[in-house]
Amino acid sequence: MLRFRRPMDMSTALNQILAEERHNEVAAETHDELRRNLMALEQSAIASPDPFRVLRLSILEFTETWKVAELIDDIRFADDDDVMLARRLEEIVSSRYVNIQSPATYVTCKLTSLTLRKYTAANHGDNDARNDWWYVFVDTIFEHIAWLQRGIQMQCESERTDESLLHEWNELRAEARRNALDCPVGVTQYPIPLHRQGK
């Protein structure tokens, strides 16, 4: 009986990403955990009646944590005066993104996202051209971080609490995920949510 062979398995996808991203210096325990988690995701997708949805959900989750961590670090190192702002951003979103301040979290989420995207592109034909659903999803993270920065800077005037900012952040991110998840393969745009700036 002939068995279907996937064009690329998860282990191959990870090895290619490690080579491309020059992350061969990843600590052994981090590398082993990364590989185990990716193998488990691969098996979950294979066992699912909708493997593409399982993979895209995982891509969105790991991409969001990676990019939020990256953007907060960019703010932290841009100017000495922004160190406190970066710390406040971490405080507000830390309950949503576990260990967001850890360099290991950034590396693991980045490599997982990139590996899943390579695997999904090889096996499910997901478009990776500029301005596809993934890039638009990342753009919303940039926009929402900017929105949260303004919210923090205006807290004294608006009397908004950290909890209310986090609640609205979660709503914005949930809407962005729904839009990305529902975008068909090959479609280059989906509606970007309207941001409630200054409210």
pLDDT digits (tens, 9 = 90+) for 88-111: 999 999 999 989 989 889 999 999
- pLDDT at residue 2 above 50? no
Question: What mean pLDDT comes out for the span 165-188?
Answer: 86
Contact 136, 192 (CB under 8 A): yes
Q: Which amino acid is residue 184, in one-letter code? A: P
List all residues 6 or more positions away from 65 whose beta carbon is below 8 Å from its beta carbon: 97, 100, 105, 109
Contact 134, 63 (CB under 8 A): yes
* pLDDT: which is higher, 99 or 128: 99
Mean pLDDT on 74-89 = 89
Show the tokens assigned to 182: 């529902």
Give the pLDDT band (50/70/90) at residue 156. confident
* Between 198 and 92, the higher pLDDT residue: 92
Token pair 């609640």 in the structure block, residue: 167
Distance separating alpha carbons of residues 43 and 38, to the nearest angstrom? 9
Say if residue 145's pLDDT is above 90: yes
Residue 129 near residue 188, CB atoms below 8 Å: yes
Q: Which amino acid is at 144?
A: H
Q: For residue 188, is pLDDT > 70?
A: no
Show the tokens assigned to 191: 């509606």
Q: How far apart are CA 32 and CA 5, in angstroms?
A: 25
**pTM of structure:** 0.86
